[in-house]
Chain A
Amino acid sequence: MSDAVFAEQAVADQAVADRAVAAPAPHAGAGMAVEIRKVSHHFRLSGKSLPVLEGIDFSVAPGEFVALLGPSGCGKSTLLRLIAGLEPPSAGAIVADSEPVNRPDPSRNLVFQDPTLFPWATVWRNVATGLEARGLLKQHRARVDDALALVELGGFADAYPHQLSGGMAQRASLARALVNDPSLLLLDEPLGKLDSLTRMTLQVELVRLWQRNGFTALLVTHDVEEALLLASRVIVFSERPARIKAEFRFDEPYPRHRDDPGLIDLRRRILGTLGLAT
């Protein structure tokens, strides 16, 4: 409750403050604690049960940036959908800030691999969706402008999604999540479909937004380097049905560099657990 008020104040403050300064998180502690308790999940496919997740058990501290790494199709994205509350897990429980997750909530926001912007709405309207859906838009119109400025799309408020490049669309989709001041940001390979230059830029952006807003971040990716550039902990999943295979801590300060020897060394070890070591 007070978090929300605090967060709003922070957004307003930040709009005034110089964005270029890599200030420490203005309201550290706004992040959500997440516990994944023995979660298993299966899909029903043409009458047969297809196990996707098996006994996943880990917790994430408030404000932590955790990367979930694993072979493609292993079920990482499914886990994010469960944490977002889009589907209930077949077994086990997910607890967010001591409350069981059983429905979607704007405080737990999910950014998809595709920007999934509504093509019929302008960028501004898209970003405003969360506030509008909850009847908050009238009092908080400025938050939409702030969110757009935050992802450097201030000049594109009236553009339609088809007029944006892939990177800009993904920024807009980030703004659409951030305008709700989520305390947990679930990132489902958000940079997966972007060209490598845009990707590098947005990796830096993501760290900046995370440091600034202090939310907890869970990033699904199959790019080891990306995981190590962004996260302080990397959880490696096995092939489907996904199990936790290994966990690595990486407490290097930000901004990180992809040619950092510590990062390169860890990268080799992680690839080793994935069976890809050379």
Chain B
Amino acid sequence: MTDATETLDGAAAVDAPGLLPGLWRDGLLIALAWGVAAVVTVSLPDVVPWGGGDLFAAITGVGALTFVVLAFAAHRLGRAGEILIHYGPWLIAIGVWLALWELITAKTGWLPKPFFSPPHGLLNVYVNDGQRLLICIGYTLRLWALGFLSGIVVGYAVGVALGWSKRFAYWGMPLLKLIGPVPATAWIPCTFYFFPTTFGASIFIVALASGIPVAILTASGVGSVNRAYYDVGRILGADSRYLIRRVAIPAAMPHVFVGLFMALYYSFAVLVVAEMLGAKYGLGWYIQFQTAYSGYANVYAALLIMAVLCAGIIRLLFVARDRLLKWQQGFI
């Protein structure tokens, strides 16, 4: 068992097999790094008080103790253990980073308040403003989901039409090329006029940001399908409908996914802007509100949430892609 995991993971291969078989050495290093972070947090005073220091030290301290246990147990945990061992070096780095971060912000004041926040400052925000942040996450996800989904659906349909129909491409392509590079913020005056609610306008901005890359990539995907596939289809008795559904669309799928990944990043980037339009909640709104009051710790806390949300959704998109583009395996 250990042999397999060791060869799979170079970082874990440094176990001393003669000394303590089954010991996960990285686990002890993680415990050490996290323990240092905890000790630094409680033993040194904050230059300017932040609050939340004790809780942070407790969490990292308990984390350190847990990794001491895991260092002896990880090899017996099967698949979960393998994943843990794989991310071992990262967990060490996180512990070291937390300790350093504490030192250069709260403990020495090199990066001073209010522009920078130590990790326990962020934790303090999550504890004290958690309720409001949860509501903001809900609002942001609703806006993002509505905007992104409607954007990619329309973008995909437009892309297929542009790639398939010469006439559609004649009129549509120049327009798309013109609209594409315009930053989403530039549409705010028009959207205010055309949309009855600011929520509708916000959705439109997110939809536009996600729809354009999907449309462009889908069009290029459909347009670059090997002509021989169409010949094959026609010889086998396929009509245009069949050729679009069963040849053009699946053949363009890899391109469509590139467009979706781009759409995801763009949509997250414009969320903050979209929530400028009179939103009452939402992470973007929260970030602007806190910036105005120099609540930078709150800003970082919200940014961290957005980053985690974005990474989570990208992970989901990867899973979807690997499933839908199974046929490409060996090419990817």
A-B contact count (CB 8 A): 75
Task: Kindly identify which residue among A109, A114, A120 contacts B228, using a CB–CB cutoff of 8 Å.
Answer: A114
Q: Is the CB of B231 within 8 A of A129?
A: no
Contact A129-B238, Cβ < 8 Å, known A118-B250, A120-B251: yes
Chain B residue contacts of A112, Cβ below 8 A: 228, 231-232
Q: Is the CB of B234 within 8 A of A104?
A: yes
In the complex, which residue of chain A has the Cβ closest to the Cβ of B239? A133
Min CB distance, A246 to chain B, in Å?
30
0 or 1 for each of B230-252: is its CB under 8 Å from A? (1 = yes): 01111111110010001100110
Q: Is the CB of B231 within 8 A of A86?
A: yes
Min CB distance, A104 to chain B, in Å?
4
Q: Is the CB of A162 within 8 A of B229?
A: no
Min CB distance, B323 to chain A, in Å?
13
Q: Is the CB of A106 within 8 A of B328?
A: no
Task: Kindly identify which residue among A114, A161, A180 contacts B236, using a CB–CB cutoff of 8 Å.
Answer: A180
Contact A119-B236, Cβ < 8 Å, known A86-B231, A114-B228, A133-B242: no
Q: Is the CB of A176 within 8 A of B236?
A: yes
Chain B residue contacts of A116, Cβ below 8 A: 226, 228-229, 231-232
Chain A residue contacts of B246, Cβ below 8 A: 118, 129, 132-133
Chain B residue contacts of A156, Cβ below 8 A: none
Q: Is the CB of A130 within 8 A of B237?
A: yes
Q: Is the CB of A119 within 8 A of B239?
A: no
B253 at the A interface (CB under 8 A): yes
B330 at the A interface (CB under 8 A): yes
Chain A residue contacts of B293, Cβ below 8 A: none
Min CB distance, B276 to chain A, in Å?
42
A34 at the B interface (CB under 8 A): no
In the complex, which residue of chain A has the Cβ closest to the Cβ of B247? A118
A160 at the B interface (CB under 8 A): yes
Q: Is the CB of A129 within 8 A of B233?
A: yes
Q: Is the CB of A162 within 8 A of B329?
A: yes
Q: How long is the Cα–Cα vector from A133 to B229 in the complex, in angstroms?
A: 14
A12 at the B interface (CB under 8 A): no
Task: Kindly identify which residue among A81, A86, A120, A130 contacts B250, using a CB–CB cutoff of 8 Å.
Answer: A120
Min CB distance, B258 to chain A, in Å?
16
Q: Is the CB of B326 within 8 A of A160?
A: yes
Q: Is the CB of A86 within 8 A of B327?
A: no
Task: Kindly identify which residue among B236, B250, B325 contacts A121, using a CB–CB cutoff of 8 Å.
Answer: B250
0 or 1 for each of A164-195: is its CB under 8 Å from B? (1 = yes): 00000000000010001000000000000000
Chain A residue contacts of B250, Cβ below 8 A: 118, 120-121
Chain A residue contacts of B238, Cβ below 8 A: 129, 133
Q: How long is the Cα–Cα vector from A160 to B324 in the complex, in angstroms?
A: 13
Contact A133-B253, Cβ < 8 Å, known A116-B228, A162-B330: no
A110 at the B interface (CB under 8 A): yes
Q: Is the CB of B229 within 8 A of A118?
A: yes
A134 at the B interface (CB under 8 A): yes
A217 at the B interface (CB under 8 A): no
Chain A residue contacts of B239, Cβ below 8 A: 133
Task: Kindly identify which residue among A109, A118, A119 contacts B235, using a CB–CB cutoff of 8 Å.
Answer: A109
Chain B residue contacts of A134, Cβ below 8 A: 237
B193 at the A interface (CB under 8 A): no
Q: For chain A, residues 116 to 150, give those with C-beta under 8 angstroms from any C-beta of chain B.
A: 116, 118-121, 129-130, 132-134
Chain A residue contacts of B331, Cβ below 8 A: 162
Chain A residue contacts of B253, Cβ below 8 A: 120
In the complex, which residue of chain A has the Cβ closest to the Cβ of B232? A116
Chain B residue contacts of A81, Cβ below 8 A: 231
Q: Is the CB of A162 within 8 A of B327?
A: yes
Chain B residue contacts of A130, Cβ below 8 A: 236-237
A84 at the B interface (CB under 8 A): yes
Q: How long is the Cα–Cα vector from A109 to B231 in the complex, in angstroms?
A: 11
Q: Is the CB of B228 within 8 A of A119?
A: no
A105 at the B interface (CB under 8 A): yes
In the complex, which residue of chain A has the Cβ closest to the Cβ of B330? A162
Min CB distance, A224 to chain B, in Å?
27
Chain B residue contacts of A176, Cβ below 8 A: 232, 236
Min CB distance, A201 to chain B, in Å?
24
Q: How long is the Cα–Cα vector from A108 to B235 in the complex, in angstroms?
A: 8
Q: How long is the Cα–Cα vector from A134 to B328 in the complex, in angstroms?
A: 27
Q: How long is the Cα–Cα vector from A112 to B235 in the complex, in angstroms?
A: 11
Q: Is the CB of A133 within 8 A of B236?
A: yes
In the complex, which residue of chain B has the Cβ closest to the Cβ of A179? B236
Q: How long is the Cα–Cα vector from A251 to B209 in the complex, in angstroms?
A: 69
Q: How long is the Cα–Cα vector from A118 to B251 in the complex, in angstroms?
A: 8
Min CB distance, B332 to chain A, in Å?
11
Chain B residue contacts of A163, Cβ below 8 A: 330
Q: For chain A, residues 26 to 77, give those with C-beta under 8 angstroms from any C-beta of chain B.
A: none
Q: How long is the Cα–Cα vector from A84 to B236 in the complex, in angstroms?
A: 11
A-B contact pairs, 14 of them (CB 8 A): A106-B235, A110-B231, A112-B231, A114-B228, A116-B226, A118-B229, A118-B247, A118-B251, A119-B328, A120-B327, A129-B236, A133-B238, A162-B329, A180-B237
Interfacial residues, chain B to chain A (CB-CB below 8 A): 226, 228-229, 231-239, 242, 246-247, 250-251, 253, 325-331
In the A-B complex, list the 7 residue pairs whose CB atoms are closest, starting with the nearest. Answer: A130-B236, A133-B238, A120-B250, A106-B237, A104-B234, A134-B237, A120-B327
A129-B246, A133-B238 known, 17 other contacts, Cβ within 8 Å:
A86-B231, A105-B235, A106-B237, A109-B235, A109-B236, A110-B231, A116-B228, A116-B231, A118-B247, A119-B327, A120-B327, A129-B233, A160-B326, A162-B327, A162-B328, A162-B331, A180-B237
